[in-house]
Amino acid sequence: MANKPLVSIVSAGLSKFGRNEGMMCREIFAEATKESFDRCPNLDPIKDIEALFVGHMGESYEHQGHTGPTLADWTGLLPKPAIRIESACASSGSALRIGILAILSGLHKVVMVGGVEKMTHRTTAEVTEFLAMASDMPFEQWNGITFPGLYALMATAHMHKYGTTEEQMAQVAVKNHYNGTLNPKAHMQKEITLEKAMTSKVVAWPLKLYDCSLITDGASCLILAHPDIAKKFTDAPVHIIGSGQASDTIGLYERETLTSLKAAKLAGQEAYKMASVEPKDLDVAEVHDCFTIAEIIAYEDLGFCASGKGGNLIQEGTTELGGKLPVNPSGGLKSKGHPVGATGTAQAYEIYLQLTGQAEKRQVNGAEIGLSHNVGGSGATANVHIYRRD
Amino acid sequence: MANKPLVSIVSAGLSKFGRNEGMMCREIFAEATKESFDRCPNLDPIKDIEALFVGHMGESYEHQGHTGPTLADWTGLLPKPAIRIESACASSGSALRIGILAILSGLHKVVMVGGVEKMTHRTTAEVTEFLAMASDMPFEQWNGITFPGLYALMATAHMHKYGTTEEQMAQVAVKNHYNGTLNPKAHMQKEITLEKAMTSKVVAWPLKLYDCSLITDGASCLILAHPDIAKKFTDAPVHIIGSGQASDTIGLYERETLTSLKAAKLAGQEAYKMASVEPKDLDVAEVHDCFTIAEIIAYEDLGFCASGKGGNLIQEGTTELGGKLPVNPSGGLKSKGHPVGATGTAQAYEIYLQLTGQAEKRQVNGAEIGLSHNVGGSGATANVHIYRRD
């Protein structure tokens, strides 16, 4: 099992997730990149990094597009090519995918990929409106539905078809909030009880406040190198051995089913095949829990369990820290936070820490193979990456 | 001279540029892709095209982000990976660059790259505001400067340093408007006189109405294939033999000079070196004439003439159709129009037509080597591509 590397992660960085008052995206991104540079003293960023691909979802938050060169400037990477990648909440997962293409192309030996979003200076109504741009304008936004509503439709369909319960969804929140208490960079480091989650305010039934991820500021980055030169920069690279990406209709109303994300299933299949890895080989995973139902559906789409059995998987404790396959040890989007453009490479950052034994209180002992799963919108984009320690 | 291909263009498409009332981006893009499919009957889009990379500058125009899968859906390309690329007005030039990486990576054999923008349903004030997001928010937008103002600063600096005149800038407009009359897809197919250009309303002195490119709806696309399989799809591929991209500060105020775009110079040098081509080898070029001064600066940055001699080059007729190096035979952004996200691959489309002898009334006879030059914002992004006929 486990194929040869596509690329190697030689360093990674993450800003503190939360409310970064008075900082702009460029400054938050610089915080993440500084960690990646500090971690990797053998790398000379200006000399070695040849290109930047950066996920950024919304130019509306800061009235600032053209994010690539802006971030390259604040990170000291000018005049290298620097390009913004947008796939809604999967923007930096897509940036990672493109970084892999860049290394495989032979045109680049070392590139930086990452993502950033600054959201908390906007009102919840503004954020809801900006996020809605990732759904279909004429048929979804126009009719007033927003993301909690779209995921509520998936949740009720899943409850109806498979008997999934509100308690099972709340258990995802309880697990991820507990994990967040072990992550000093998480936005919300606060345990919650099942009762607290179950009695929280309804946002879009059956989804309640604690079923929803957070509005967060944050940035993340990875430094990718050709596997042949990775050891020049670090003794402990993490290798990416599988990458899958697929698309689906932007509108939920056009989908074949509401209880599964076809794009995520296809992306997973592509990544597993490329990596020669099966779900049973995984030691740790970070999945896109923008809403608790999304984590349950992810278990099924990624083959952690059979279709319809995601509720049981959380109930049985399989995906807790200490369980057979810990999922979202970082706290996930639910508790670590969801600065949308930064999420994909923030998931990869967590897997990097886990596979190099640097995850401290939330370390999954002996983790060798990991997976990240990043979803855009209600599932029109999904990408999956599989990682192996050196 | 002229190195081996990086990738081959096996087909290309362009929507009518202009005012497309009642159409959304997805429909305009489908119009461009339909032409590319019709041109290439040996290609089965659903089977053969493996990914889509699409330049799109502004989600504000249609309140629609997540453009990749939206366009993939309307083009029949689901469930293939589909990613939006944003580099301001160089978005689809960057998408082309990423398409090249994708083919070189070995992960993909055939991909579509393209771009789209729908602008004319918005007021000029709205468009000006949305475009401004490609400049620096805290130091440029905040102080009220917009793109005509930024390029006016470059123009006055060029006039002061080199003696470039308003008449020389107006001559760029006269040339490109004439070329537009020969292009049935151009937005404005109307000749203008030097006097008309010189006496048009001042937008930001010294730039007058006819020094500015157009607010346009439009889309463009290319189908790229690995050179080894290009002949499966067409007898007359066009090969891309050089690709260069570089970045500069987002803000004009931070630049080393106002009379040259450093990113464009570097991108050009990279592309020429990769292609083993020199400026004297070029038969035709499409350059980023968002304002007339930008075309004059492009001549210098790309080595068509020495620094400061761009005004002379237009005055001497060198870059007219029939001249030694025709520039913007399509009419350029000035007369063909500038649907920002679509411009980079629209330039490549024109070079594709020219090198395959399909440019009809504006054909540059015997053109073998071409170049495209795409600039984002006031020059924070630039990419240059060099093409050779089969």
**DSSP labels, B121-144:** TS-HHHHHHHHHTTS-TTTTGGGT
**pLDDT above 70 covers what percent of chain B?**
99
- Best of B46, B67, B73, B247 to disrupt the A interface by mutation (most A CBs within 10 Å)? B247
pTM as predicted: 0.98
Q: State whether residue A192 is helix, strand or coil.
A: coil
Do A295 and A331 contact (CB within 8 A), yes or no? Answer: no
* Cβ contact, residue pair A247, B135, below 8 Å: no
Whether the CB-CB separation of A43 and A37 falls below 8 Å is answered with yes
Q: What is the mean pLDDT of residues B42-64?
A: 97
pLDDT recorded at residue A316: 98
Q: Confirm if A80 and B247 have CB atoms less than 8 A apart.
A: yes
Q: What is the pLDDT of residue A1?
A: 46
Residue B1 has pLDDT above 50, yes or no: no
Give the pLDDT confidence score for residue B4 in this predicted structure: 86
* Catalytic residue, candidates A25, A40, A56, A89: A89
What pLDDT was estimated at residue A28?
98
Residue B106 and residue A104: Cβ atoms within 8 Å?
Answer: yes
What is the residue whose two structure tokens read 């500084």? Answer: A34
Of A83, A94, A101, nearest to B87 by CB-CB distance is A83
Q: By the 8 A CB rule, do B286 and B350 touch?
A: yes
Q: Is the ipTM of this complex over 0.90?
A: yes
d(CA B286, CA A372): 42
Q: Does B66 touch chain A (CB under 8 A)?
A: yes
Neighbours of B16 (CB within 10 A): 17
Which residues have CB under 8 Å from B135's CB, separation 6+? A66, B141, B145, B146, B147, B150, B250, B251, B252, B377, B378
Question: Measured between CB atoms, which of A66, A94, A134 is closest to B250?
Answer: A66
Closest by Cα among B373, B372, B375 to B387: B372
Q: Which amino acid type is present at position A192?
A: I
A338 is catalytic: yes
The Cα–Cα gap between B93 and B87 comes to 8
Q: Can you tell me whether residue B388 is helix, strand or coil? A: strand
For residue B359, give Cα distances in angstroms to A97, B64, B286, B363, B367.
37, 34, 13, 5, 11
| Residue A53 CB-half CA count within 13 A | 33
- pLDDT > 80? residue B357: yes
Is there a cis peptide before residue B81, judged by omega within 30 degrees of 0? Answer: no
Q: What DSSP designation does B80 have?
A: S
- What digits encode the pLDDT tens for the residues A263-307? 999 999 999 999 999 999 999 999 999 999 999 999 999 999 999
CB atoms inside a 10 Å sphere around CB B365 = 9
Query: If you search the block for the tokens 């604690």, which residue do you land on?
Result: A210
Whether the per-residue pLDDT at B150 is higher than 80: the answer is yes
Which regions of chain A are under pLDDT 70?
1-2
pLDDT in tens, A300-328: 999 999 999 999 999 999 999 999 999 99
In chain B, what residues touch A102 (CB-CB under 8 Å)? 101, 105
